[in-house]
Amino acid sequence: MPMKKKQEGDSKKRTLPIRHWSHSSLMAFLRNPLAWYKRYVEQIYDDPMSPSSVIGQAGHVALQHFYGGIGKEGAVDLGLEYLRNIADFEIDLGKAHSKMAKKKKRAAMEREYLQAVSFYLKRPPRHRVLGVEHKATAEVEGLALPIKAVSDLVVVSRVDPSALDIVDHKFVNAFSPSGANKTLFVMQALFNYYTVKETFGKEPLRFIVYECKKTKNADGSSQMRRYIIDFRTLRDEFALFHRLINDATAEIARPRLYLPNPSDMFEGENSFDIYRLGLVDEQTEK
């Protein structure tokens, strides 16, 4: 009888359109299910990135190499190389259509990147680093699907040297007004909690977010803010996380129509184009 139950469970998992949840895929599903379906089920990645997103990714590349042991100058150069290697068609350059306009836009992106990463590296936070860009998938008791996450840094906790902290970097246009109470930060933290615990065999104590503001503060105040999320205080949030993951899994398991969200400021137009062409309906019928 136990073997039969396991087989039934495995069969149910195979009927789901995805193999795991990540923070980005869950947020995409909640924001715009049709755009989520295109990216995470059909695995079509043709949406151009925003310049801000590219600059942020370049900053992550620089910090990945810096905390991996490369000097500041070398790390900055590797981030710049990443930025320059992204083709124009992969970036939403807005009204920059001519060759000259695109060149100016790209130059402005490089300047913004160099300024932002220099703000961070002027006085970079120091950690005893155990993992850089740590990718992992975890099976979590009570969740119908595994979860996957990438942790910028896994470090020795300053609160308890026998414990772990998780560090996340964000390059932003403005600081988050709600700081450590921001729901997106807490949700991301819980994804990283389980994947780091799975790999390192220890329960992380804290999720630390460093926001680096890309534009210079006119009043000369710090370009960096730190927010600390203490996992030991998140009992209700852990319960909510489990409920949300399982509710989302149940939602994608049932037969459904994926409708567009034209008001989505990021993917509204694209989702409506997909709906207009009937691409998802055809896939669902098959």
pLDDT tens, position by position, 214-226: 999 989 899 999 9
pLDDT of residue 240: 92
In whole angstroms, what is the distance from residue 218 CA to residue 197 CA? 41
Residue 7 falls inside a structural domain: no
**What distances in angstroms separate CA 141 from CA 33, 147, 152, one per listed residue?**
26, 11, 25
Domain edge (last residue) among 98, 122, 146: 122
Domain edge (last residue) among 79, 107, 122: 122
Residues 159 and 224 reside in one and the same domain: yes
Residue 5 falls inside a structural domain: no
Domain edge (last residue) among 122, 146, 170: 122
| pLDDT > 90? residue 235 | yes
Encoded tokens for 217: 């503060």
Residues 233 and 134 reside in one and the same domain: yes
Which 3 state secondary structure label does DSSP give 237? helix
pLDDT of residue 9: 46
Taking the chain, what is the end-to-end CA distance rounded to the nearest angstrom? Answer: 34
Residue 197 falls inside a structural domain: yes
Residues 42 and 70 reside in one and the same domain: no
In whole angstroms, what is the distance from residue 191 CA to residue 11 CA? 25
Residue 281 falls inside a structural domain: yes
> If you write DSSP's letter for every residue of 106-153 in order, what string do you get?
HHHHHHHHHHHHHHHHHSPPP--EEEEEEEEEE--TT-SS-EEEEEEE
User: Could you say which DSSP state residue 181 is in?
Assistant: G
Closest by CA position to 154, among listed 170, 139, 135: 135
Residues 55 and 141 reside in one and the same domain: no
Residue 114 falls inside a structural domain: yes
Encoded tokens for 176: 């988050």
Angle 99-122/51-67 helices, nearest 10 degrees? 40
Residues 197 and 259 reside in one and the same domain: no
Residues 22 and 97 reside in one and the same domain: no
pLDDT of residue 255: 85
pLDDT tens, position by position, 123-171: 999 999 999 999 999 999 999 999 999 999 999 999 999 999 999 999 9
Residue 3 falls inside a structural domain: no
pLDDT tens, position by position, 20-62: 999 999 999 988 888 899 899 999 887 889 999 999 999 999 9
pLDDT of residue 202: 93
In whole angstroms, what is the distance from residue 51 CA to residue 85 CA? 14
| pLDDT bucket at 278, cuts 50 / 70 / 90 | low
Residues 86 and 113 reside in one and the same domain: yes
Residues 190 and 228 reside in one and the same domain: yes
| pLDDT bucket at 284, cuts 50 / 70 / 90 | very low
The position carrying tokens 């008001």 is 263
Q: What is the CATH number of the domain that holds 226?
A: 3.90.320.10
Residue 1 falls inside a structural domain: no
Residue 250 falls inside a structural domain: no
Closest by CA position to 48, among listed 94, 4, 15: 94
Tell me which residue range forms the domain holding 240. Answer: 129-245
> If you write DSSP's letter for every residue of 31-75 in order, what string do you get?
H-HHHHIIIIIS----PPBPHHHHHHHHHHHHHHHHHTT--HHHH
Q: Specify the number of domains making up the chain.
A: 3
| pLDDT bucket at 8, cuts 50 / 70 / 90 | very low
